[in-house]
């Protein structure tokens, strides 16, 4: 009986540890964001804004979180240029995934900004629901 339990622990412990790992912001960016924002965060001129040293990325975290939760459409001005692409909502991502990808973006591509926490995403998501409902 002890041998069976020991074997079960050995076999399933790697699966459990992967499930408990924190989300990888770079992996989420690669899967969900890179197609539009490019591998280096430069975006696409007049369509997809860059993620490099912009007020949206380096500024208020709540605004950035809301962009992921609600998506973004219509014209916006970023670093003096106008962009008119559409970003779909990423609200299906878990709070921890949004925190991880935004922390990655805020500290990649030459950016240096504070991390986004799960609690900040959770708070924004809750406040966002009240506004939408």
Residue 123 belongs to domain with CATH number:
1.10.760.10
Q: Does residue 108 lie in a domain region? A: yes
Average pLDDT over residues 38-65: 96
Q: Does residue 1 lie in a domain region? A: no
pLDDT surpasses 80 at 2 = no
Which of residues 122 and 16 earns the better pLDDT score?
122
Q: Which residue has the tokens 């993620």?
A: 51
> Sorting pLDDT into bands at 50, 70 and 90, what band is 129?
confident
Q: In terms of residue numbers, what domain contains 74? A: 22-132
- Tell which residue, 73, 92, 91, 75, has the closest CA to residue 128: 91
How far is it, in rounded angstroms, from Cα 131 to Cα 115? 25
> In angstroms, how far apart are the furthest CA atoms of the chain?
69
On whether the CB atoms of residues 98 and 22 are closer than 8 A, the answer is no
Q: Does residue 80 lie in a domain region? A: yes
Each residue of 83-119: pLDDT tens digit? Answer: 998 999 999 999 999 999 999 999 999 999 999 999 9
> What is residue 49's predicted lDDT score, i.e. its pLDDT?
96
> What is residue 1's predicted lDDT score, i.e. its pLDDT?
59
User: Tokens representing 104?
Assistant: 């990655």
> What is residue 21's predicted lDDT score, i.e. its pLDDT?
81
Domain count for the chain: 1
- CA Rg, the chain, in Å? 18
Which phi and psi (to 5°) does residue 2 adopt?
A: -65, -35
Q: Does residue 9 lie in a domain region? A: no
On whether the CB atoms of residues 118 and 103 are closer than 8 A, the answer is no
> What is residue 13's predicted lDDT score, i.e. its pLDDT?
53
pLDDT surpasses 80 at 14 = no
How far is it, in rounded angstroms, from Cα 57 to Cα 65? 10
How far is it, in rounded angstroms, from Cα 40 to Cα 34? 8
* Mean pLDDT of all residues belonging to the chain: 89
């Amino acid at each position: 009986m002890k041998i069976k339990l020991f074997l079960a622990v050995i076999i399933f412990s790697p699966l459990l540890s992967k499930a408990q790992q924190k989300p990888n912001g770079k992996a989420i960016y690669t899967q969900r964001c890179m197609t539009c924002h490019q591998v280096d965060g430069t975006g696409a001129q007049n369509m997809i804004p860059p993620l490099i040293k912009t007020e949206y990325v380096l500024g208020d975290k709540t605004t950035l979180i809301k962009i992921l939760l609600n998506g973004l459409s219509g014209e916006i001005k970023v670093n003096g240029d106008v962009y008119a692409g559409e970003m779909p909502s990423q609200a299906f991502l878990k709070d921890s995934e949004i925190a991880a990808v935004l922390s990655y973006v805020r500290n990649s591509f030459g950016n240096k900004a504070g991390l986004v926490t799960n609690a900040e995403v959770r708070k924004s998501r809750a406040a966002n629901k009240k506004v939408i409902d």
